[in-house]
């Protein structure tokens, strides 16, 4: 059998199927994460090149062919590690750089950087100056933490690249999409950018690498440099926006986006980005205007409709919010949330029938919330048993939801002065969610209504263990102690802390006035109670203010205050008790 026949047979076999995988880098070798699902025929045979035949001894050529055939069989069997070993042997017996290239690619496939480095060095030996092999060696060096080696090879890649520097840096930038990161990468890209100081893409690559490492200051500085070099480039402007966002400067990022829009660098998508940045920056009014601009271009953009509706509702534009929410219902996106919010808007308008109609159509995760709202509406209309029955019928498979049902149930019962049942409802909820704030707070107030002061104090003290600066719990505990006339110094301190947290809250002002009254500081008490009653002419506050005025000797003023309080709530228990005691 002739040597030529052997060579032709080997070439025919090798051309059937050979390992080939690329990651879209314009020829860059495969990196970690690339997988072989099928093996396509090589573009050309990978046997030793005829031009090198005189330079390669016959026995070496035979060895190369043997290992190439063995590699092919291993690939067909899916044994890539064995195939790699044969390619590594074949490349040592051949002067064909393509065999070393195959070995490099397969080494990356099996994630063996040591063998990839060995094969790449052989490839470089056979094809000096080949840009791709320098890029691969740069990747391997970065993975190994060899920043000097990475810089050397990536510099060689840039210098041997067949295109311009912008394109070369674009190729390097693609490394960031394939696991090449870390502080070492930032330092290497920094050195490369300094070598190509007039190339904007160099700084964009540096900005991305720095951003990936959380080095936002360096990322922003590099992006700004790219903008300075190429003011009209949209990607450079976007890089500054990304850096500003990661630096938690959404307002500055929004300003940049507005500048891009003014310069004609974007359409409604960029306008939507602006809206979300403004929302993140807490500039709700500007965000709403930005969403309006988006919706003029894309009236059915569900995300924009949803965000704009929530903003409009919060900014006191219920009519506009309703229009956008109804549109979400029409296009069947965010549909159940839209129905729920429409129910709330109808409630606020006093339109009970519309509210009920919207709530009844809510499905999915918000159905339970909608049913809770219906129960509250029923209770307010005096349909207490219907409300309680509805609450009882709600699903109880989720502990958190059971707790919320218990809160509403307790609230309804307490509103009806069914205090013992309210305490039972709150206690049942606490069995599902021990320590729940709302349940403890509701039970504390209900216990106080029953005269169980020790129980009420225990509940409120438990709340304050977890949230020592909760103004409402501080105020409630201080008021209960003051009303009982016990631990008055402690009560005063609790209410003082609550008032520091919410200095204009009428209930807390009332509590301060009441504890001062209990301490015999009548004029100081009068001042706080007058402020509280002016802010909220509540029957209980009126009862307290009238009692202080009565004790100060101003009986007519006291009666005027009580009369005004009776107009708001003639049956209030505290007011009735005060009148019967002082002015029967």
What confidence tens digit (pLDDT) does each residue in 556-567 have?
A: 999 999 999 999
Instruction: Select from 113, 28, 36 the least CA-distant residue to 74.
Output: 36
Ordered by start, the domain boundaries in the chain are 1-128
Give the DSSP H or E segment for 119: helix 113-126
What's the longest Cα–Cα distance across the chain? 131
Query: How many whole angstroms separate alpha carbon 191 and alpha carbon 150?
Result: 11
CA–CA distances in Å: residue 415 to residues 65, 381, 411, 457, 505: 92, 12, 6, 21, 22
Query: How many whole angstroms separate alpha carbon 494 and alpha carbon 145?
Result: 59
Long-range CB contacts (within 8 A, 24+) of 495-501: 497/469, 497/471, 498/471, 498/472, 498/474, 501/469, 501/471, 501/474
Query: How many whole angstroms separate alpha carbon 306 and alpha carbon 337?
Result: 9
Strand, helix or coil for residue 22 = strand
Phi, psi (rounded to 5 degrees) for 22: -135, 160
pLDDT at 178: 61
Token readout for 489 is 């110094």
Judge: domain 1-128, CATH 1.10.3470: no
Taking the CA atoms of the chain, what radius of gyration do you get in angstroms? Answer: 38
Neighbours of 221 (CB within 10 A): 16
DSSP letters for 122-191: HHHHHSTT-HHHHHHHHHHHHHHT-HHHHHHHHHHHHHH-SS-HHHHHHHHHGGGGGT--SHHHHHHHHH
176-198: b (≥16 Cβ within 10 Å) or e: bebebbbebbbbbbbbbbeebee
Mean of all residue pLDDT scores within the chain: 84
Instruction: Select from 239, 202, 234, 210 the least CA-distant residue to 224.
Output: 239
pLDDT at 180: 67
pLDDT at 244: 85
Cβ pair 311, 284 in contact under 8 A:
yes
Could you read off the pLDDT of 461-491 as tens digits, one per residue? 999 999 999 999 999 999 999 999 999 999 9
Cβ pair 30, 23 in contact under 8 A:
yes
229-262: b (≥16 Cβ within 10 Å) or e: bbeebeebbbbbbbbbbbbebbebbbbbbbebbe
Strand, helix or coil for residue 317 = coil
pLDDT at 40: 37
Query: How many whole angstroms separate alpha carbon 379 and alpha carbon 373?
Result: 10
Query: How many whole angstroms separate alpha carbon 304 and alpha carbon 294?
Result: 7
Instruction: Please name the residue that has the structure tokens 């660098």.
Output: 265
pLDDT at 57: 64
Query: How many whole angstroms separate alpha carbon 17 and alpha carbon 359?
Result: 64
584 residues of the chain, pLDDT tens digit each: 333 322 223 333 333 333 333 222 233 333 333 333 333 333 344 444 443 434 556 677 888 788 888 888 888 888 888 888 888 888 888 888 888 888 888 877 888 878 888 887 888 888 887 888 888 888 888 888 888 988 998 888 888 888 888 888 888 888 776 656 677 889 999 999 999 999 999 899 898 888 888 898 998 999 889 888 988 788 888 888 888 888 888 888 888 887 777 777 667 777 888 788 888 878 899 889 889 988 998 999 999 999 999 999 999 999 999 999 999 999 999 999 999 999 999 999 999 999 999 999 999 999 999 999 999 999 999 999 999 999 999 987 888 899 999 999 999 999 999 999 999 999 999 998 999 999 999 999 999 999 999 999 999 999 999 999 999 999 999 999 999 999 999 999 999 999 999 999 999 999 999 999 999 999 999 999 999 999 999 999 999 999 999 999 999 999 999 999 999 888 888 999 999 999 87
Rounded to 5°, angle at Cα 223 from 222 and 226? 90
């Amino acid at each position: 059998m002739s040597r030529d026949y052997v060579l032709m047979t080997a070439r025919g076999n090798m051309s059937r199927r050979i390992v080939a995988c690329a990651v879209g880098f314009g020829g860059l070798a495969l990196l970690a994460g690339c997988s072989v699902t099928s093996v396509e025929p090589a573009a050309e045979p990978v046997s030793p090149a005829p031009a090198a035949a005189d330079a390669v001894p016959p026995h070496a050529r035979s060895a190369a062919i043997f290992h190439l055939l063995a590699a092919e069989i291993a690939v067909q069997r899916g044994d890539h590690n064995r195939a790699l070993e044969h390619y590594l042997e074949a490349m040592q017996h051949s002067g064909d750089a393509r065999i070393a290239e195959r070995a490099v690619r397969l080494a990356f496939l099996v994630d063996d950087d040591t063998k990839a480095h060995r094969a790449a060095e052989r490839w470089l030996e056979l094809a000096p100056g080949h840009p791709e092999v320098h890029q691969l060696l740069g990747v391997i060096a970065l993975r190994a933490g060899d920043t000097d080696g990475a810089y050397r090879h990536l510099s060689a890649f840039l210098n041997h690249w067949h295109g311009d520097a912008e394109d070369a840096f674009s190729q390097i930038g693609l490394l960031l999409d394939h696991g090449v990161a870390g502080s070492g990468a930032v330092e290497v890209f920094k050195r490369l950018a300094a070598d190509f100081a007039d190339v904007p893409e160099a700084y964009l690559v540096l900005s991305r690498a720095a951003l990936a490492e959380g080095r936002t200051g360096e990322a922003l500085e590099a992006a700004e440099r790219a903008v300075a070099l190429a003011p009209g480039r949209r990607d450079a402007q976007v890089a500054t926006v990304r850096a500003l966002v990661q630096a938690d400067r959404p307002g500055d990022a929004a300003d940049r986006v507005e500048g891009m829009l003014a310069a004609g660098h974007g359409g409604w998508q960029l306008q939507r980005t602006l809206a979300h940045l403004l929302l993140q920056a807490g500039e709700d009014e500007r965000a709403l205007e930005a969403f309006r601009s988006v919706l003029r271009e894309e009236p059915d953009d569900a995300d924009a409709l949803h965000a704009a509706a929530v903003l409009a509702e919060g900014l006191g534009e219920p009519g506009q919010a309703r229009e956008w929410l109804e549109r979400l219902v029409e296009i069947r996106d965010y549909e159940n949330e839209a129905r729920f919010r429409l129910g709330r808007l109808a409630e606020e308008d006093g339109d009970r029938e519309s509210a009920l109609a919207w709530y009844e159509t809510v499905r999915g995760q918000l159905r339970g919330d909608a049913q809770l709202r219906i129960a509250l509406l029923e209770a307010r209309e005096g349909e207490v048993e219907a409300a309680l029955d509805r609450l009882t019928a709600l699903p109880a498979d989720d502990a958190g939801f059971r707790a919320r049902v218990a809160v509403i149930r307790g609230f309804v019962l307490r509103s009806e002065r069914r205090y013992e049942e309210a305490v039972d409802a709150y206690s049942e909820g606490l069995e599902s969610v021990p320590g729940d704030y709302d349940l403890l707070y509701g039970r504390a107030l209900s216990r106080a209504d029953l005269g169980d002061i020790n129980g009420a104090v225990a509940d409120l003290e438990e709340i304050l263990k977890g949230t020592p600066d909760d103004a409402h719990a501080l105020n409630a505990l201080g008021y209960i102690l003051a009303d009982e006339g016990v631990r008055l110094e402690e009560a005063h301190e609790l209410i003082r802390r609550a008032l520091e947290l919410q200095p204009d809250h009428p209930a807390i002002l009332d509590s301060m006035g009441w504890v001062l009254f209990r301490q015999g500081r009548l004029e100081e008490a009068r001042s706080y109670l007058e402020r509280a009653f002016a802010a909220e002419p509540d029957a209980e506050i009126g009862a307290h203010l009238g009692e202080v005025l009565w004790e100060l000797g101003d009986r007519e003023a006291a009666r005027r205050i009580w009369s005004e309080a009776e107009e708001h709530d003639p049956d209030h228990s505290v007011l009735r008790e005060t009148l019967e005691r002082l002015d029967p």
